[in-house]
Amino acid sequence: MPVRATDARRAAVLGSPIAHSLSPALHRAAYGELGLDGWSYDRFDVDEEALPGFFKDLGPEWAGLSLTMPLKRAVIPLLDEISETAASVDAVNTVVLTEDGRRVGDNTDIPGMVAALREHGIEQVDSAAILGAGATASSALAALARICTGEVVAYVRSEVRAAEMRQWGKRLDVEVRTADWADAAEGLRAPLVFATTPAGTTDALSSTVPERPATLFDVLYDPWPTDLAARWSGYGGAVVSGLDLLVHQAVLQVEQMTGCRPAPVDVMRRAGEKALADRRSGPG
C-alpha cells in the first residue's frame, strides 16, 4: 500500500567510502516530487565490521537501505530473504524493511541496467562484449542474460578472472567466452559493449574505436565522459552512462521502499546531473 505523505520514514545509503554518493540527491528529489514530506534519506560510512551493529539499531521508522561497496555481499547473512535476482549474483544493493519487521534484499543494478538500455532503444542483442571481470561485470552478465540471445565475450587480465567469468556464465545460463585484455579492441566491434572497469582503465582503447560503433554502456559517471565514451559518441555511437544506471537502479529502490509507482525518473536524473555539476565546479 502506498505510504502517506505525512509518514515520517527514514532511508539511507551505506558504504565505505560514501561521502561522494549521489544517492541522497536522487532519492530526496524523488521524495520531493512524490510529496513525501516526512521522508528523509541520508548517507552513513559503514564498513563490513560495523554493518551488523548498524542493522541491530534500526528502528520501525526505517523503510529501506541502499548498499554500495563493500557491503553488497556482507549484508546477505543479516537478511531474512533475498530475491532471485540478488541471489543470482550473490549481491544485494537494496534492503526493504517491511511493516512486519522483515529485512528483504534485492538487486536493482541488474534490472536498472536493462531499463537504461531500453531507454536508449536496446531491447535485444545477438552478441555482446564485457570489458573487465569484477563485481560490476557479473551484474552486466546477469543483465545480458535477459537481453542477449548469443555469445558474450569477456576481456580479462588473468586466467583466474577468466575462470570466474566462465563460472558466472554457467550459473546465469549465458554463453561466455573469455579473451585476453590485450585483444580488447576486438570487442569494441560488438553490438553492445559493457565497460565495467575502474576510471582510466579503458583510456588506451579509445584510439581503437571502430568508425561505426554500435552501443557502449560505460558504467562510470565521474569523471565523465571517459576517453572511450567521448570517442565513441564522436563517431556517432550510442552511449549509456553510469549515471543512467545510477538513476534507473535508484528509481526501482524508491518504488520498493515507498510503494509509490512510478518514481519520477526525469526529476531524479536532473538531480543527479546537478549534483555532479556542483561537485565539478566546487573546490577541490
The DSSP result for the chain, as a single string, is: -PPPTT--EEEEEEESS-TT-SHHHHHHHHHHHHT-TTEEEEEEE--TTTHHHHHHT--TTEEEEEE-TT-TTTTGGG-SEE-HHHHHHT---EEEE-TTS-EEEE--HHHHHHHHHHHTT---BS-EEEE--SHHHHHHHHHHHHHB-S-EEEEESSHHHHHHHHHHHHHHT--EEEEEGGGHHHHTTSSEEEE-SPTTTTGGGGGG--SS--EEEE---SS-S-HHHHHHHHTT-EEE-HHHHHHHHHHHHHHHHH--SS--HHHHHHHHHHHHHHHHHS--
Round to the nearest angstrom and report the end-to-end CA distance of the chain.
44
CA distance 81 to 22: 27
**Side-chain-side CA neighbours of residue 245 (13 Å):** 24
Classify residue 241 as exposed, middle or buried by CB count within 10 Å of its CB (0-12, 13-18, 19+): buried
Question: Which of the residues 56, 72, 170, 274 is marked catalytic?
Answer: 72
Contact 208, 262 (CB under 8 A): no
In the annotation, is 72 catalytic?
Answer: yes
> Which residues are part of the catalytic machinery?
72
